[in-house]
Structure 1
Amino acid sequence: MKKNVLKKLMCAVLAAACVATAVVPAMADDVVTAEAATKKVTSAYKYHLEGYDKNGYPVSGFSKTSFYKDLNSLPSVKTGKTTINVPAVTSNVKSVSKEKGKPEYVTYVKFKALKTGKYVVTLDNLQGTDDKTLRCMMYCDFYQVSKTGKKYCLNSIEDSDTVGKYDTLYENNYLARLRTILNNYKAEHPEYADVIEETYIDYTDYVNKYPVNKIKFTTKLKKGRTYVFSVDNIGMQKAVPPYFTTHGSDEQSCLWGGNYLKAYSFDINIEYRK
């Protein structure tokens, strides 16, 4: 199965591909940063196998030594609220996928469950830093360590469920930022004015219909085990020339997706529930 079909069922890699992440617990004395650990990982695993091969299929896994060296290097988060700052993707950040034309950049942090039970995870307060594109987050989840033969990788947790309809997180002040971006694009391309306005109306209707201010899910974790929280950079909206949204359709849009490459931040709150 390809990664863009059933992403949650696939193994992810904890190797050189991880994006540098700064993690600052809001209410903790011991401030944790990922800078040193990330430099160590990218240096040590510069030639390490990545998460997906050239056809977009997941690799079989990694040796215990290399896998746990990466795992131990990851920054940790605890229960409570944490702000995660993700730096921009630079030329020395490698994609977890070797599939041509489909790079994927991933940020990882780890979490050790102190008790067995249900945990409620909430993501909100998403802030981007790009004046020309918008950040939208999806596909966020905890992963567990999985072993097949002598190979180790990450697999999604089966006992993980979205709370209500909170499965998408858009940037703070999304509609206002979208209006500014589309206005600037319309000034450059007045010939696209009609489609640009239709695009704004479509996204306004969507935002007013569905909650896009948080991602919230529950997951069952076991005491003493270390889990990995994974978030990729897929989820960018950029103004582009009009295109038909569906083959054979007459609906057009001036927003296109891809990888968000600038720095951004969001809050994650983890609560234990019996």
Structure 2
Amino acid sequence: MESAGEALLRLGGWATAADLIAVTSRKTVARALDRGEVARLARGVYVLPGYSADMLTALAYDGVLSHVSAAAAWNLPLLATPPKPHIMLPPKRRPRPGPPAVLHWAPTSADERRARTTSLPRTVLDCARVLPYSEGLAVADAALAGGTLGAEELLTAATSLRGPGCPKAHRVAASATALSGSFLESMLRALLITEEIDGFEPQVLVTAGAFRARVDLGHRHAQIALEADGFEFHGSRRDFAADCRRYDELVAAGWLVLRITYEQVLGDPGWVVATIRRAMTRPRSTTGR
């Protein structure tokens, strides 16, 4: 007879008491519970130890992680951790008692129910529905950059959407790119799109003689580089020197470099927009390209 832990693993990591006892025995389950080999999630529901709190909540409701909770499960960046997990339940199902959660009702696929998490395209689009545009775009950019989701696949999934938040999801899908280098870069690009500041492209290559460098967001014609600077500490004097040299080379090549921080994008976006607009009125250099 297999152990309770082996049975749970074969059953997908969780099972009702009736199902687990049917393939083992009451004594086997009781011993496994005493030894910590299995855990009781709720009355009549057993799981293998080691699940995240969000996943345990999904199991408690017999649902799947969705929206920002699914994004976290897919290792996609979020501006803030959701205070309660988001759980998707089948339509019209009355929720069973469980831990605090944000509940949604919609059909899920067999693969989603097996993984207990909404698919990557669906997760991205669900986040786009409920998050501000800038945060939704950052999630979508990161998903595309990961290489397991293609831009065409995301656009196709967006066209089939129905219900609240569809225009927001369509907008995110249309503007997402795999080229974004960071969450902050995506947030900054979203600000440019919202303010209709055109011409900036992600990860532009600047060359001047032997010098080559990529900038986070570059305007080729205006020769303006926007560098999205997170709060980081240079690991060594060599790293700091290399960053200074890169900055100096860009300036010498005729590029104006604006270093934009999280605090500025989130706390003072009006200043960011005004500064970029002023920078775009300066005379253009012909030194670099």
Q: Which has the higher contact order (CA 8 A, sep 6+)?
A: 1
Q: Hey, which of these two has a bigger chunk of helix by percent?
A: 2
TM-score, structure 1 length as denominator? 0.23
TM-score, structure 2 length as denominator? 0.22
Q: Hey, which of these two has a bigger chunk of strand by percent?
A: 1
Structure (1 or 2) with the larger CA radius of gyration: 2
